[in-house]
Structure 1
Amino acid sequence: MSEPIHIVCPQCEAVNRLALERLRDAPVCGKCAQALFTAKPLEADSARFGKHIARNDIPVLVDFWAEWCGPCKMMAPHFAQAAQRLEPRVRLLKVDTERNQDLAARFAIRSIPTLALFRGGSEIARQAGAMDAGRLVAWVESQLGQS
Structure 2
Amino acid sequence: MADPLHIVCPHCDAVNRVANERLADQPVCGKCTRALFEGKPLDVNSARFTRHISRNDIPVLVDFWAAWCGPCRMMAPAYAQAAGRLEPRVRLLKLDTEASQDIAGLFGIRSIPTIALFQGGQEVARQAGAMDAGSIISWVQSRMRAA
Q: TM-score, normalised by structure 2?
A: 0.98
Matched, 1:107 2:107: yes
Q: Deviations over 1:91-131 (max 9, x none)?
A: 00000000000011000000000000000000000000000
In the alignment, residue 17 of structure 2 is paired with which amino acid? R
In the alignment, residue 3 of structure 1 is paired with which amino acid? D
Distance in 2, matches of 1:143 and 1:116, equals: 10
Gapped runs of 5+ residues in structure 2? none
Q: Deviations over 1:54-88 (max 9, x none)?
A: 00000000000000101000000000000000000
What is the root-mean-square deviation of aligned Cα atoms in Å?
Answer: 0.8
Distance in 2, matches of 1:17 and 1:95, equals: 25
What does residue 31 of structure 1 align with? 31
What does residue 70 of structure 1 align with? 70
After superposing on structure 2, the runs of 4+ consecutive aligned residues of structure 1 that deviate more than 3 Å are: none
Distance in 2, matches of 1:79 and 1:37, equals: 15
In the alignment, residue 87 of structure 2 is paired with which amino acid? E
Q: TM-score, normalised by structure 1?
A: 0.98
SS at structure 2 position matched to 1:71: helix
Distance in 2, matches of 1:130 and 1:53, equals: 22
| % identical equivalent positions | 70
Gapped runs of 5+ residues in structure 1? none
What does residue 56 of structure 2 align with? 56
Distance in 2, matches of 1:136 and 1:40, equals: 14
Distance in 2, matches of 1:14 and 1:98, equals: 26
What does residue 2 of structure 1 align with? 2
CA drift of 1:2 comes to: 1.2
SS at structure 2 position matched to 1:23: helix
What does residue 94 of structure 1 align with? 94
Q: Deviations over 1:5-28 (max 9, x none)?
A: 100000010000111000000000
What does residue 18 of structure 2 align with? 18
